[in-house]
Amino acid sequence: MEETFAKVADAISEYWEAHERPVFDPAVPHVALHHPTFGAEEITAFTRQMLSTQVTMGREVERFEEEFCQRLGYGHGVSNNSGSSANLLMMSAVTTPLFEARLMPGDEVILPALTWSTSLWPIIQRGLKPVFVDSDPVTMNMDPAAVEAAIGAKTRAVLAVPVYGNPCDMDAISAICRDKGLLLLEDCCESLGARYKGRPVGSDGLISTFSFYFSHHMTTLEGGICLAGDPEIADIMRILRAHGWTRQVKDREKWERAAPTYDPRFIFVGEGYNMRLTEPQAVMGQIQLKKLEGFVEARQRLARKLIAGLSGWMDILQPQKTTDGGEHSWFGMPILLNANAPITRDDLCAQLNAAGVETRPVIAGNLVRHPGTRQFDHRVADKLTGADAVMDRGFAIPCHQSLSDEAVDYMLEQFSRILGQQKGRLS
């Protein structure tokens, strides 16, 4: 059988090499926002696992969780089927009756207005009330002073969101949560591989989340993980992840004692979903995990080159500034046009796009301004001028592991060409 599979593996490699498109072709220049991190090795491992017919969550998923925590320095990992599900699982864990200090319906959770929608929806879906605070438009992260000012009588938790791989000021945010008795949670879905004062992002909160979506720092196609230092909270998330079932918990005896007459293979102790990762995804993730450090280092090197290349245009624009004490992992390169820029964000992006340089908004911009938010009860704690600035004048350009120096040079040439035409127009 191995001889037969070797032929399959060779065929996958041959097909991949023949059909993989160049990341950048100077003859037809196009710089994409993202490029797959996986290749023939991952496809081969995925295929082998499929052929084994062992595909639902099992030992490979458990191995992936263990390797993820060991390699990156986390406590306990509970994988799931997406970063969005990871956020829902996190919010479910702190609102379920299985958690003694649970949040109750109507309790408030502070989060930045500048974030992605699935930072918000799980708060609402679990009956909690979001409280939006502003972000520093330079770092694009939530302002600790705004967090402290937003705390009210019903505030019970803070959700920190490091934007595009830039760590938040976790010393300040953690101190606020300790002083005020608030739960600290972290949505790090864009920030895998980033560090704050030597600690991997996601180390400070009660629970933190990451995403393995195909365009992120590493991928299992779709997928995510929740991390917790407390093994009991990790077990609560394992129960919630799969039907309210105790099958995957580490301390099964604790739960089985509560139902001694039940078949221990089928004990349901609370609410639950089906958010499981699959075995083929897990073996793919194991391979990606070994490559993650190299992916992040490549992004960091290219970010330095982009920032240096844009340094002559700081009277017009400002790349995102890394938080003091932080080590950025650069999900992309966010840029903010200055308020007096002689060109609009939309015009600049249109010209970059026409030249083959893809651009996009910085996450969802100010979520308070989106129609969906108005459908639900929420509180706005301040004027959100920073989030508005990023929504109105911010954009992101490619900065990923597959970019060549040639592609970066091309992007910088396009900025120089477009912005050079604006000389003398600063007001």
Note the pLDDT tens digit of each residue in 243-261.
Answer: 999 999 998 888 888 888 8
Mean pLDDT, range 139-146, rounded to an integer: 97
pLDDT higher than threshold 70 for residue 60: yes
Q: At which of 283, 318, 341 does a domain end?
A: 283
Q: How many domains does the chain have?
A: 2
Mean pLDDT, range 210-236, rounded to an integer: 97
Q: pLDDT tens for residues 326-360?
A: 999 999 999 999 999 999 999 999 999 999 999 99
pLDDT higher than threshold 90 for residue 1: no
Active-site pick, 19, 30, 34, 216: 216
* 313 & 239 share domain: no
Q: Specify the pLDDT at position 147.
A: 98
Mean pLDDT, range 14-20, rounded to an integer: 92
* 405 & 304 share domain: yes
Q: Specify the pLDDT at position 253.
A: 86
Tell me the backbone φ, ψ of residue 130, rounded to 5 degrees. -75, 140
CB atoms under 10 Å from CB of 260, counted, come to 7
Residue 87: band (very low, low, confident or very high) from pLDDT cuts 50, 70, 90: very high
Mean pLDDT, range 393-410, rounded to an integer: 97
* 270 & 140 share domain: yes
* 325 & 355 share domain: yes
Q: Specify the pLDDT at position 31.
A: 97
* 54 & 145 share domain: yes
Domain containing 405 equals 293-420
Q: Specify the pLDDT at position 427.
A: 47
Q: At which of 229, 252, 283 does a domain end?
A: 283
CATH code of the domain containing 384: 3.90.1150.10
pTM comes to: 0.96
Q: Name residues whose C-beta falls within 8 Å of residue 253's C-beta, 6 or more positions apart in sequence.
A: none
Q: Quick check: is 410 in a domain?
A: yes
- Check if 216 is active-site: yes
Q: Specify the pLDDT at position 426.
A: 53
Mean pLDDT, range 405-409, rounded to an integer: 97
